[in-house]
Amino acid sequence: MSERVVIVGAGHAGISTAFELREAGFAGPVVVLDQAGHEPYERPPLSKAWLAGAVSTGELAFRGPEVYARRRIELRTGVRVSAIDRGPREVVTADGARLPYDHLVLATGARPRALPVPGAGLAGVHRLHTLADALALRAALDGARALAIVGGGFIGLEVAAAARKRGVPTTVVEAAPRLMRRVVSEPVSAFYHRLHEEAGCVIRTEAAVGALTGEDGHVTGVRLADGATVPADMVVAGIGVVPETGLAGAAGLATGDGVLVDEALRTSDPAVFAVGDCARFPLGEAMVRLESVQNAADQGRAVAAAITGDARPYRDVPWFWTDQHGCKLQIAGIATGADEWAVVGDVQERRFTVLCWRRGALVAGESVNRPADHLALRRLIAAKASISPAAARAGGFTLKDHARSLAG
C-alpha cells in the first residue's frame, strides 16, 4: 500500500510541498487541508500590485482548480484540523473525522501580532494577512481621510506607498530608531525613509504607541507614549507575526517561536515535518524562522525530497523582496549581526547594492533596482565567496564579474 502525505495549510509552503512531491515522483495520496474556505492564493501581491490595483483578485490563485486534480492533489478547504494523534498517526478535524498519515507536513503559517494597546479592537483598525483582510483594507482606503500605520516594516511601508499613491494622508509610526531595522542596513533604511517622505508620507521613528483613541467605537487616532496623538480615521497594524504552533505544541512536538525542526525540516517526531513561516530551523550557527515565499517554496521542495528518500540539509540562501514607490529592494542572505558594509552603485540614481559582512564573511546584500546584483549575490553567498570590503569599494568593482569568475 502506498504511503499517504497529509499537509496542514494551503499557503505557499503547503502547496509547494504538494506539487514538489509530484515533481519528485511521489505516487501515493497527497491531501492538503486548509481552514480557509477558498482556493489557495498568492500573498505578496496583496500589499503590492493587487493593493495598487495592477492585479485582479482572480489572478491571485496559485493554480487553476483543475490542476490540483490533474496532479492528484486532494485539496480540502474549509477544514480545520483540531489535533494530531501521533500514536496511530492521524489528524483529527474539527468535525471529529480522523485522517491517517504516514508523513505529516505542518505548513500552518503565522498570524499577525495584535497591537498590545488599549483601543486595538476599535472599528477602523486593520491588519493585512489574508485575502479577506486585504479586501477590507482596500475598501477602507477608498474612504480614508487620514491613515496611521503602526510598524515601519515591509507590510506597513508597502501599504503606506499604496495609500500615498491614492492621495491618502499617511503617517507611519515606528518604535525603532529606523525603518525596516530588523531586516536591512542603515543606508537602505535611510534611502527608503527619504523616498517615503518625498512621497508625502510622515514618518515618526522612536515613537512607541500608548493607545488607540476612539469615538463611538471607531478609531480617531494613535496616542504615542510621549503623549502626542496622530489623528487617523484608519489604522493599519503591521508589527510582525506570531507562528502558528498550537497544533504542534498540543501534540507534544518541540516548539519555541516556531515549530522546531532539524536540517531536514523534521520535527521532534520523524513522521512530522514543518515548513514555511511556522518552522524554526538551523541556519549556520543560529535557529531561524523566515517569512518569505522563497523559504516556503524551497522548504516545500526539501521536504518532498526527504519524503521521497533524498533528504539533504536545507541550506538555500534566503531571499526577500519588497517594492515601494517603484523602488525594488531585493535582499539576499541575512544581515543580522553584520559589522561592516559597503555601497556599490549610485544611491542618487536609485540603483545601488549594499554588501554586508559579519566577521569578515560576506553574509548579505541588499539591492535597490539592481536585480542582476541580487542574482549574482545569491550565487556568491551560496558559494561562500570571499570578497573584501576594500575590493568592493574599489573603482570598477562589479558583482557580476565576481559571480562569473566563480562560475568559470
In the complex with other proteins, which residue's Cβ is closer, 195 or 207? 195
In the complex with other proteins, which residue's Cβ is closer, 104 or 290? 290
In the complex with other proteins, which residue's Cβ is closer, 171 or 330? 330
In the complex with other proteins, which residue's Cβ is closer, 49 or 136? 49
- Of 369, 382, 397, 398, the residue at the interface with other proteins (CB under 8 A) is 369
Q: Which range in 77-85, 128-136, 165-173, 292-300 contacts other proteins by CB under 8 A?
A: 292-300
In the complex with other proteins, which residue's Cβ is closer, 64 or 240? 64
Give least dist CB 62 to other proteins, A.
Answer: 7
402 binds other proteins (CB under 8 A): no
52 binds other proteins (CB under 8 A): no
In the complex with other proteins, which residue's Cβ is closer, 50 or 357? 50
- Of 111, 113, 328, 350, the residue at the interface with other proteins (CB under 8 A) is 328
Give least dist CB 104 to other proteins, A.
Answer: 24
In the complex with other proteins, which residue's Cβ is closer, 94 or 372? 372
Q: Are 293 and 321 in contact (CB under 8 A)?
A: no
- Of 130, 255, 330, 353, the residue at the interface with other proteins (CB under 8 A) is 330
Q: Which range in 57-65, 180-188, 190-198, 388-396 contacts other proteins by CB under 8 A?
A: 57-65
Binding site for other proteins (CB under 8 A): 19, 23, 42, 44-45, 48-49, 55, 59, 61-64, 67, 70-71, 293-294, 297, 321, 323, 328, 330, 369-372, 375-376, 400, 403
